[in-house]
Copies of this chain bind each other. A is one copy, B any other.
Amino acid sequence: MEMNNHISTEKYAADISSIREAQVRIKPFIHITPVLTSESLNTMSGRKLFFKCESFQKVGAFKFRGACNAVFSLDDDQAAKGVATHSSGNHAAALSLAAKLRGIPAYVIVPKNAPKCKIENVKRYGGQVILSEPSMQSRESTAAKVLEATGATLVPSSNHGRVISGHGTIVLEILEQAPQIDTIIVPISGGGLTSGVAVAAKAINPCIRVLAAEPRGANDAALSKAAGEIVRLPETNTIADGLRAFLGNLTWPIVRDLVDDVIVVEDEEIVEAMKLCFGILKVTTEPSGAIGLAAVLSDSFQKNPRWKDCRNIAIVLSGGNMDLGVVWDSFRS
């Protein structure tokens, strides 16, 4: 029997080659975001933490990486008809900016209840906003009409090979900036970021643990891992508005096979982590963005013997778009 530590990732919607190609493709457009460290947070967590600050990415979130890769992968004829999405704010803003940079239209179906600053972001970056009802059904049917009318290409926020590959570029940067890391913690929602990170990390070094973090009120990824199949919840309830999506047919196999664990945290822990990001790291971090820090400070992580050897941990602070009033209300409650 041949021993082989290398984990093959060829069967998935993204692999290390597509991620390296993405890095070259999006390099002219993205920010290389800094990795910050804090002795205070190291002391609190008992680990060395490396914060990959995607709050500073263009449009204020990692989503720009995947959107940019998807838009610049289109051939000219396809591209000319534009792109569309019915996803929530950060991906929508990211797709708008990527489309603007390519000089093509972006049609964005946004649920009416999205945070105001996210809708503003879409407009600021030149996206054409079409409001729908909050339900996924209404978002999808509105999108279908737009696609028919324009011939635009639908770019989902997570369940898409080019998007996953774009998000995976985060790992290539982290491993240059903090080569000593042995663990990466990412927020999980639709699984696009988690998938890209897992594929890249495991291909480069299978010993790196990839942990996903999700809120108790939208713990579908943890339930899916436990059930061995995609679980969708009848409803979600969390302050982390960016983490309410479910896994798709492309992200699920990667999450199933390559993610070492899903750490579930309470909303209170997320709010506490946001305060630490604001007060100690000095980085504006939306609830979804702060969940990785919440996870590493949680009992679920700290008391789990499986993770006691995680010493050098990269935490992806995934984004920083939020209304200050919402934050403040959560801090006071």
What residues make up the interface of A, taking CB atoms closer than 8 Å to B? Answer: 31, 34, 36-37, 39-40, 53, 55-56, 58, 60, 117, 124, 275, 278-285, 320, 324, 328, 331
Contact = CB atoms under 8 A, between A and B. Distances in A.
9 contacts: A34-B34, A34-B36, A60-B280, A278-B324, A279-B324, A281-B284, A282-B283, A324-B328, A324-B331
A55 B37 CA distance: 12
Contacts of A320: 282
A266 B58 CA distance: 30
A285 B284 CA distance: 10
Contact of A284 (B39, B117, B278): B278
Given A279-B284, A282-B283, 14 more contacts: A36-B56, A39-B58, A40-B124, A53-B282, A55-B282, A56-B282, A278-B284, A282-B284, A282-B285, A283-B283, A283-B284, A284-B284, A324-B328, A328-B328
A58 B55 CA distance: 20
Contacts of A55: 282
Interface of A is mostly: helix
Contacts of A34: 34, 36
Nearest to A275: B324
A40 to B, nearest CB: 7
A330 to B, nearest CB: 11
Contacts of A36: 31, 34, 56
B56 A279 contact: no
Query: Closest 4 A-B residue pairs measured CB to CB?
Result: A282-B284, A282-B320, A34-B34, A55-B282
Contact of A60 (B53, B60, B282, B331): B282
Contacts of A39: 58
Contacts of A124: 40
A34 B285 CA distance: 17
Nearest to A61: B282
Contacts of A280: 60
A280 B57 CA distance: 11
A92 to B, nearest CB: 17
A252 to B, nearest CB: 31
A319 to B, nearest CB: 9
